[in-house]
Chains A and B, each alone.
Chain A
Amino acid sequence: MMTFPNVQSASAALFLTFTLAGAAPAEHLPEPHGPVILTVEGTIARTNGEGRARLDLQMLRDIGETTITTDTIWTAGTSEFTGVALDDLLDYLGAEGQEIDARAINDYAVTVPIADAVEGGPILAYAMDGKTMSRRDKGPLWLIYPYASSSTYRTEVIYARSIWQLDRMTVLD
C-alpha cells in the first residue's frame, strides 16, 4: 500500500560522537587561510571583519568534529556524515538569536530555528563517508539532521531545512 521507503523501519544505527571545542571567547576570529566555505552574519559576537564570520574548512574542523550515521531520503543506504555541530558553531561564534536564515549556492533559502541547535541535533557536514563533499556531492556544507535517531527528524519541515550546498547563514533575532 505504501510505496514510500519506510524510514521508520530502517534500523540504521546512529553514532553521535562529538568533541566540545575549548574555544576561548576571543573577540576576533582568525583570518581564514583556505577558501571561505561559510559566511555567517547577523547577531554574532565573533567576526573576522565587516561584521561577518568568514570560515574555511580548517576553521570549521577546529571547532570540533561531530559524526552522524544515518540514512537520508536523498542518498542510497546509510552514510557517515562528519561535520561541525550547529550548536557548537553557534556557541563558537557567540550567536544570539531566534533563527538562522540559511542560503545555498543556488540561492535556496530556509529558516532554521536556533532551537534546532541542540546537543545531538543537526550538524554542518563537510564529509560523507570520510570524503570531503564537493559541490557536485552537495558540498561544501550540508545541514544534516540525525534522521534515523527519531521520527521527529523525519518530517517534511526537517527535510526542507536540510539545506545542501550551504554557504551563507544569517543569525536573526
Chain B
Amino acid sequence: MSRRNRFLRGGRAIFFGVALICMVAIGFLAVEIVRDLRLLNSANSDNVQWTLSQAEVEFLEMRHALDTARRQPEPDLDRLIEEFDIFYSRISTLETGALYESLRDLPEFAEPMQRIRRTLDDLVPLIDGPRAELAAGLPRIESAFGQSRADLRDLATSGLYHFARQSDFQRISVAVTLMRLGLLTAVLVMVLIFLLRHAQNASRQTERRGHELAAAYSRLNTILDTSLDAVLVADLSGKIQQFNPAAERIFKYDAQQVVGRNIGGLIVPDHLRDAHEAGMARMRAGGERRVVGRGRVRLDAMRSTGEVFPAELALETARTGSEEIIVGFLRDISHRVSSENELVEARDKALAGEKAKADFLAMMTHEIRTPLNGVLGNLSLLEETDLTPAQARYVHNMAVSGKLLMSHVDAVLDIARFESGATALRAEVVDPGRLVQDIIDSQTSAAEANGNTLDWAWTGAPADWIRVDASRLQQVLVNLIGNAIKFTRDGHVQVEIEQVKPLDQPGAEAGLWLEIRIIDTGIGIAEADLDRVFEDFQTSGCTQDKGLPGTGLGLGIARRFVRAMQGEIGAESTLGEGSVFWLRLPVRAARAPHNADRTGTGCAPAGPCSILLVEDNEINLDLARDMLSLMGHDVSVARNGQEAVVAAGARCFDLILMDIRMPVMDGLAATRAIRDGQGPNRDAPIVALSANVLPEAKDRFIAGGMSDFLGKPLMKKELAQVIARFCSDATLAEGAPRDPAVDDPLAALKARYLDETCALFDWLATMPDDWSEIADRAHRIAGSAAAFGQADLRMALLSVETTAEAEDAAALAQAVSQARRAWETAPDPSVA
C-alpha cells in the first residue's frame, strides 16, 4: 500500500513536472508567435519586389530619356538628368538601405550592384558637367549602360529569389512553431487529462478513507460505550476529553458534566490529590512516570457522591497530532477487594486454627509424655526391685501398656507434625550398614521372643558414608522390621540392603539409590489387602503379638517419610508364605565424618562420671537420678537454671543433663550463663532433656550452646549412650590419651572454636529473630576469631553484631553472608 502510494506520489510529481514544462514551453512559443505576428504586422519590408522592379522601370525611363535626347536636335537634357538622378537615388537606396542588407551579402546581388554603381559614378561628372559636353557624351552614356541592363535584371532576379526564399523560411518557421505549439498543447492536454484522472482517483480514495475513518470511529465509540471498564481521556493539563458510559456508571457523573473539567478534582480522592498533581506536573515536565505505562496499578478513586472505592487503573499516553493525551482504563474492584479480604480473613483464621492445633498437639504431647515418662521410668525402677512373680508380671504388663501408649502418642504426633508441614529433612552423614546393624541389635531380643532369627546383609557392594535423614530412615526401618517380627512366628526375618543404581542427575552431586528389603517368612498379606496396608489406621485383622493392637499408623507414617525423602516404598506378599517390604531412597555419597569411630556405636560402658542433673519435675528428677545412680555415676541435682548455674560454678562436672522448661531460669538461659561464664564447666558437655522432640527444638538447643539432646522419657539405653559419648574420654584421659584435643589444650580450644563457629553459622542460617542473642554470639565468636588470627572474620562478625543491635534485618542478612564468606576463606586458626 505504502509503495503504491509512493509510486502514485512519484507519478503525480512527474506529471506535474511535465505539465509545468509544457506550460512554460507553450508560453515561450506563444511569445515567439506573438513576436512573429508582430513582425509580420510591423513589416519591415517596404514592398521589396516593387522597389526592385521599380529600379528596372526607372532604368528604362532613363534609357528612354536618353534615346529621346539622342534623337532630338535640341536634346531635353533636364529630363535625362532627372531620370538619371531618380535611378541613382534608387540604386543608392538598394545599396545603403537597411532593408536590403541581407541582399547585399549575396554575391549575385552585390556584384551587379557594384558594377551599376561604378557606371553611375563614372557618369556623374559628365551629367553634372556643362550641357554641351553632356550632349556630346550621350553616346558614351548609352554605351556605359549597355551592360547595366543585364546587371539590373540579375539584381532584380536574385533579389526576388532571395526574398521569396526568405518568406518561405518565414512561413515554414511559423508553421514549425505552430506545430510545436500544437504538439505541446496536445501533450499538455494529455497530462491534464491524466492529472484529472489522478485527482478523481485521489478524491475517490479520500472519500473511501473518510468512510473507513467514520466506520473506525463508530467502531471505536461502540467499543468505548460497551466497555465495562471506565475509559477516560484527558490532556496533559488533566482536562477530561472523553468519559465513556462505564465511567459515568462507575463515577456517577454525566459525561457532559465532566468533559473539560480537571480530572484531579473529580475522581481523585482527597488523600491522593497532592500525589496526583505532583505526578501530572512531573509528566508535563517530561520526568519520571510512575503510573503511566506501568500496567495495572491499584489505587483509590472517588465517585461523585464522595465515596472512595478501590480501583485498578492502567494509564497510557498517546500522541494525537501535536497533542499528548492520557488514556486511563479504570476498573472498580471494590467487590473483588472485599472478597479478597474475606478470603484473606478466612485463610488467616484457618492458619490460626492450624497453629492452634499444632500448639495444642505440642502441648498435649508434652503434657502427656511428661507424666507418662514418670510412669514408665518408675516402672523400670520398680522392675529392678525384688518382686514376686505376680508383681513382676503386673509390672511388665504395665510397662508394655505404657510403652504402647507412648508409641501411640508418638505416632499421632508424627502424623500431626507431618501434616502440619513442620517437618524438614535433616540430612546427616551416616554409615548405612552401621545404621541397620544398630536397628537389628535393638530388635534382636524382640525377634527372639517370637522365635525368629533376624539378620541383615549387603547385596552387592556395600556403600560407605551417605547423607540421609537418618532419624526418619531409622524410624521407618524400626517400623518395618518390627512389623516383620510381629507377624512372623518361628521364622526368619532378613534385611537386605543394596545400592541400586547411580542417581543420574546432571549437575547433582554423585548420588545413588539405596534399596532396603525386609523379607519375612510370616503370615503374609492377602493380595487384596496389599494396597491398603500403607493407608492410615489400617490394622491387621489377626494380631498374634500378645494381643497388642497397633494404631494402624505405622506404615502410613513410613510411607509419608519415604515420600518426603523422594523415595518409594512398597510391599509384595504371598499369603501364608511371607512378605517383602521394600523401600528405595535417593541418597548422596558423603565423606566420613571426623569422629566416625564413635558414630552409631556407643554402648561402651563408661566409668563413673560426675553428672549435674537439672530438672524441675520431682518425679522425673528422682527417676533420672535413680537411673544414673544405678549406672554408678555421681549425681548432683539442681531444680532450675539458676541453681544449675550456681552448682556449675562450684565444681567441675563431666556432664550436665539440663531440662529445658523450668521455672526461674530455663535450660537454654542457664546453658548460656554457664558457657559465657568463667566457671569450671564452661566447656563441659551439656545435654538437653526435653519432651519436645520436634527437630526444630533440637536445633534450637544445639544452637543455644548445648552439646546434645535426649528426648523424654529418658530411656536407660539412650542415657547410657550419651554418657558414654561425653564421658568416656574424660575417664580414659589419664590412661590412654586418644584424642589430641585432650592432651593439647590449644588444639581443644581450636576444635571448640571451630565447632562453635560452625554452630553459629548453622544457627544464623535458621534465620533466628532474637536480635540480642545474634549480637551476643557474633560478638563472642568475633573475640575468638581475633585470638585465632582470623581478622577478616572478626571484622565481619562485628558488623553482624552491629547490624543485629540495630535490628536491621536486610543489613544483617548481608553482614551474615559476608561473614560466611570470610569464614569459608579464612586461614586455618592458629594462635600466635
Residues on A close to B: CB < 8 A?
A: 1-8, 71-76, 105-106, 134-138, 151, 154-156, 159-160, 164-165
Contact = CB atoms under 8 A, between A and B. Distances in A.
Contacts, number: 86
Given A136-B89, A155-B41, 9 more contacts: A2-B170, A3-B170, A4-B44, A4-B45, A5-B98, A73-B99, A74-B98, A75-B98, A135-B85
Interface in B38-90: 38-39, 41-47, 58, 61, 82, 85-86, 88-89
A135 B42 contact: no
Contacts of B36: 1-2
B505 interface: no
A11 B39 CA distance: 16
B97 interface: yes
A74 B99 contact: yes
Given A3-B102, A75-B96, A137 B43 contact: no
Contacts of A72: 97-98
B39 A2 contact: yes
Contacts of A2: 36, 39, 170
Question: Which 9 residue pairs across A and B have the least CB separation, nearest first?
Answer: A135-B85, A74-B97, A4-B44, A73-B99, A136-B88, A156-B43, A159-B46, A154-B42, A1-B173
A126 B744 CA distance: 159
B46 A73 contact: yes
B86 A105 contact: yes
Contact of A105 (B39, B44, B82, B96): B82
A151 B39 CA distance: 10
A106 B173 contact: no
Contacts of A156: 43, 45-47
Nearest to A152: B42
A160 B96 contact: no
B interface, by DSSP: helix, strand, loop or mixed? Answer: helix
A151 B96 CA distance: 22
A4 B89 contact: no
B727 to A, nearest CB: 139
Interface string B81-125: 010011011001100111101100000000000000000000000
Given A1-B170, A2-B170, A136-B88, A76 B42 contact: no
B42 A7 contact: yes
Interface residues of B, number: 29
A106 B44 CA distance: 24
Interface string B702-720: 0000000000000000000
B169 interface: yes
A5 B101 contact: yes
Nearest to B57: A106
A72 B92 CA distance: 14
A76 B98 contact: yes
Contact of A76 (B45, B85, B97): B97
Most chain B Cβ neighbours within 10 Å, of A74, A76, A137: A74
A106 B58 CA distance: 8
Contacts of A6: 39, 44
B86 A165 contact: yes
Given A4-B44, A156-B47, A138 B169 contact: no
A36 to B, nearest CB: 14
A134 to B, nearest CB: 7
Contact of B98 (A3, A71, A164): A71
A135 B170 CA distance: 36
A83 B93 CA distance: 20
A155 B42 contact: yes
Given A2-B39, A4-B39, A74-B46, A135 B98 contact: no
A5 B44 contact: yes
Most chain A Cβ neighbours within 10 Å, of B41, B42, B86, B166: B42
Contacts of B58: 106
